[in-house]
Amino acid sequence: MTDKIFDIGIVGYGPVGATLSGLLSSLGLNVVVIEKTKGVSPTARAINTDSEQLRTFNFLNIASEIISNSRTVSKVHFTDSEFNPYSTIDIPKEDILGWPPTLLFYQPELETIIRDNNENYKNLLILENTELENIEDTNPIKLNIRNNGKDSSIYCKYLVGCDGANSFVRKHINAKLIDFDFDQDWIVIDAHTIEQIDISKDEVKQICDPNRLKTYVPGRRNHERFEFKLLKGETKKIFTKKKVWELLSPWINKNNSKIERAVVYKFHACIADKWRDKNIFIAGDAAHQMPPFLGAGMGTGIRDAFNLAWKIYLVINSKADEKLLETYQQERAPHANWTIQQAKIIGEMMEQFSYREKGEKYVPSNTGYGEVFPHLTRGYYGDPSDGLIATPFCRFDLDQSKKDSDEYFGWNFGLISKKKLPKEIDSMLKKMNIKVLTVNSDIINLKNYFQDASYLLIRPDKYLFSRSKTNVELKEALNELEKQFFLIT
């Protein structure tokens, strides 16, 4: 098809492949995407995104467009069958990253926004109607593909399988799925109201009805999402149109709404034991799957993409040793694993709450959703028990320009300093390509970070690497940064 050797080949143009291809292309790498279908996913699956994903989307300049096409919510309730809350989680309008922590979108629209932006990159080739049929572990990697019915080959230095739950690439690298023993059948219904109805559109409800667990999520504009757990012995056959309208009757009816689709899904929880073999990686649903109770499946894949993009960029541009790529699974797998367990817990909490209405006294041991995402388990320096190191760093406005801190640092490692830097450190920073920002500690968002510290080092993906007080401590942190990220200076 083409003899050109691409820097990266990506299999799958779902939300994760589309985001990763945009990120890598924005970094100037030559990227090819292979997708067996054509056009965006015609239906919604994912509906919820979060501030860390919006930070990633802002690297593609599309976060504001996504927000203006989505819905923010103020509360998530766990309720009884009559919708009376057992427990409520308040959702702030924005968090320290400067974006809404929960945002409800419509997947075909989200994918269109990502893909439209990808059209801007001349170094990105998208091959739709093209199926990956075989991978040859040569150098460069050879991909045998079937494009519009014709067989051909393309070549790339690195390959990322974003090819979903049944990933061909995962099987090729001999990765096994670790199953967390969670299999539940739920019917997922997407509907669109055609007239104004009396329904609270800024609250998500996890309805812990002992007769059937249910979820209501108010989608953007007139989109509504409902999920109902199948009871023992029920199969998809019993969900006739009549039955589906019956389930929806507390909210909507035939006169005020149209059903887009009603599909029975098997919710799974599993993770791959291996995310990389030499220059071949997997990301997104190819590497992990979880029940949607936390709305974090796609988000976990977008985090994979953000983590991998800058690492591949540094290695391809000889700014880091290829050992850096080993850190992709080391950093992402524990986080994905934690997220899967949280999603399972939400499902279990719903079951546990439902016992109450049966007259059983049961208080769930977990509050759900309120948990802080875990620290990185590597790739930081210092003591993460301060709740700051190894977590996503805040975003703040800069006085000097209209930029915010994320825009200022871009994809660089960054140092935020309260002090003038001595020459020796200044030259270390230049050698390591670290972008410096000198600030005064009055910036409210930075107050906590600068307690007992004068210097903050941040990673390209905006996790806080270290907090140092003295020049000696900063030098130690810089040496550690060079070592941990295998930087070539």
| 140 cis-preceded (ω within 30 degrees of 0) | yes
| 262 sits near ligand FAD (criterion: CB under 6 A) | no
Closest CA to 228 of 244, 247, 214, 242: 214
Selected binder of ligand FAD within 218, 284, 382, 414 (CB under 6 A): 284
* Closest approach of ligand FAD to the CB of residue 478, in Å: 36
Part of the chain binding ligand FAD (CB under 6 A), chosen from 15-23, 134-142, 425-433, 465-473: 15-23
* Closest approach of ligand FAD to the CB of residue 363, in Å: 27
Residue 117 or 417: the one with the smaller Cβ distance to ligand FAD is 117
| 36 sits near ligand FAD (criterion: CB under 6 A) | yes
Part of the chain binding ligand FAD (CB under 6 A), chosen from 95-103, 204-212, 292-300, 466-474: 292-300
Selected binder of ligand FAD within 23, 32, 66, 162 (CB under 6 A): 162
| 9 sits near ligand FAD (criterion: CB under 6 A) | no
Selected binder of ligand FAD within 103, 126, 160, 298 (CB under 6 A): 298
Q: Are 10 and 34 in contact (CB under 8 A)?
A: yes
Part of the chain binding ligand FAD (CB under 6 A), chosen from 39-47, 346-354, 367-375, 430-438: 39-47
Query: How many CB atoms are closer than 10 A to CB 258?
Result: 12
Positions in 301-320 near ligand FAD (CB under 6 A): 301
In angstroms, what CA-CA distances link 312 with 81, 163, 316, 423? 49, 19, 6, 31
End-to-end CA distance of the chain: 38
Residue 304 or 415: the one with the smaller Cβ distance to ligand FAD is 304
**Residue 452, both tokens:** 């007992």
* Closest approach of ligand FAD to the CB of residue 66, in Å: 13
| 265 sits near ligand FAD (criterion: CB under 6 A) | yes
Closest CA to 396 of 465, 304, 458: 458
| 188 sits near ligand FAD (criterion: CB under 6 A) | yes
* Closest approach of ligand FAD to the CB of residue 275, in Å: 13
Give 254: exposed, middle or buried? Use CB within 10 Å, 0-12, 13-18, 19+.
Answer: exposed
* Closest approach of ligand FAD to the CB of residue 358, in Å: 27
* Closest approach of ligand FAD to the CB of residue 181, in Å: 19
Selected binder of ligand FAD within 10, 40, 46, 270 (CB under 6 A): 46
Residues 6+ apart with CB under 8 A from 7: 24, 29, 30, 31, 156, 157, 158, 312, 316
List the beta strands (DSSP E) in 12-84: 31-34, 48-49, 71-72, 75-79
Q: Using the Cα atoms of residue 363, residue 364, residue 370 and residue 373 in order, give the sign of their dihedral.
A: positive
| 47 sits near ligand FAD (criterion: CB under 6 A) | yes
Residues 6+ apart with CB under 8 A from 243: none
Q: Are 264 and 230 in contact (CB under 8 A)?
A: yes
| 73 sits near ligand FAD (criterion: CB under 6 A) | no
Number of residues located near ligand FAD, criterion CB under 6 A? 32
Q: Which helix (H) or strand (E) holds 65?
A: helix 63-68
Contacting positions for ligand FAD (CB under 6 A): 11-17, 34-37, 45-48, 131-132, 162-164, 168, 188, 265, 284-285, 292, 295-299, 301
